[in-house]
Structure 1
Amino acid sequence: MIYLIAYVATAIVFLGLDFIWLSQIAIGFYKSRIGALLMDEPNLGVSAIFYLFYVAGLVYLAVVPALNSGSWTTALVAGAVFGLVAYGTYDITNLATLKGWSVSVSVVDMIWGMCLSSVAATSGYFIASSLVRGV
């Protein structure tokens, strides 16, 4: 049960923050640098698949180890590493393969992925541990 709670909590935080980032904060930044590559509307079905898999990986590799060790710093650090590697793979591949991809987008996106994953994993840890243990 704790793993399901961890998944749902992590997903809510991750999705909420990423929605704010993509729709309010960074949309102008992305449009000004890679606007020609962006779709008019995102494919929500494909986005849902990404979020389902990504959050599962984040929970498995960052939140669960933190819950098992009882250390929120495990979620913080493992979440940051997972985010940097995952977003870095995407962004560096785009730099290597797409003509109009921006270095600044890659740098900002990798930092965002690292921070977002770290915050979501740490939040998932705190929420799951407090709900299950009644803290």
Structure 2
Amino acid sequence: MKFLITYLITLVVFFVVDIAWLGFFAKDFYKEQIGFLMRETTNWVAALVFYFIFILGLVFFVINPALDSGSIMEALLKGLFFGFIAYATYDLTNLATLENWPIKVTLVDLVWGTTLGGLVSFISYYFLAMV
């Protein structure tokens, strides 16, 4: 039950944080940089599968261990690292394999993925520690 509660709270936190980024702060950035590669409509199945897997990783590798040790700093630091690894896998693979993948997107996305992992882990830990 603890895992499910942690997962659901992290899911909500993740969607709020990532929607703020994608919907407000970076909306035009991605269209300008890689609009030529983007679909007309988002493949929501693929997007949701990524989100569910990413959140599963955060809960399993970062948030639950941090809750067990009672350390919000552990949640933050491991979350930053997890986000960096996940987004580096995506962005560096794209940089290596796609003809016109902009390095600017790789750099911005690496910073975002790192921030996302840390922020979601920190906020989720904060709320879960109160439960």
Are the equivalent residues in 2 in contact too, given 1:83–1:118 (CA < 8 A)? yes
Match of 1:55 in 2: 55
Rounded to whole Å, the distance in 1 between the matches of 2:31 and 2:81 is 27
Match of 2:20 in 1: 20
Return the letter of the residue paired with 1:56.
Answer: L
Q: Aligned runs of 1:102-117 on 2, under 5 Å? A: 102-117=102-117
Larger deviation: 103-112 or 19-28?
19-28
Gaps of 5+ in 1: none
Rounded to whole Å, the distance in 2 between the matches of 1:7 and 1:128 is 10
Rounded to whole Å, the distance in 2 between the matches of 1:11 and 1:3 is 12
Match of 2:90 in 1: 90
Return the letter of the residue paired with 1:49.
Answer: V
Match of 1:40 in 2: 40
In the TM superposition, residue 2 of structure 1 has moved relative to its aligned partner by: 2.5
Larger deviation: 12-21 or 91-100?
12-21
In the TM superposition, residue 3 of structure 1 has moved relative to its aligned partner by: 2.0
SS for the counterpart of 2:75 is: helix
Match of 1:126 in 2: 126
Rounded to whole Å, the distance in 2 between the matches of 1:39 and 1:27 is 14
Return the letter of the residue paired with 1:77.
Answer: L
Return the letter of the residue paired with 2:44.
Answer: L
In the TM superposition, residue 10 of structure 1 has moved relative to its aligned partner by: 1.1
TM-score normalised by L of structure 2: 0.96
Rounded to whole Å, the distance in 1 between the matches of 2:92 and 2:54 is 18
Rounded to whole Å, the distance in 2 between the matches of 1:9 and 1:100 is 38
Match of 1:77 in 2: 77
Aligned length: 131
Moved over 4 A (4+): none
TM-score normalised by L of structure 1: 0.93
Match of 1:67 in 2: 67
Rounded to whole Å, the distance in 2 between the matches of 1:41 and 1:16 is 21
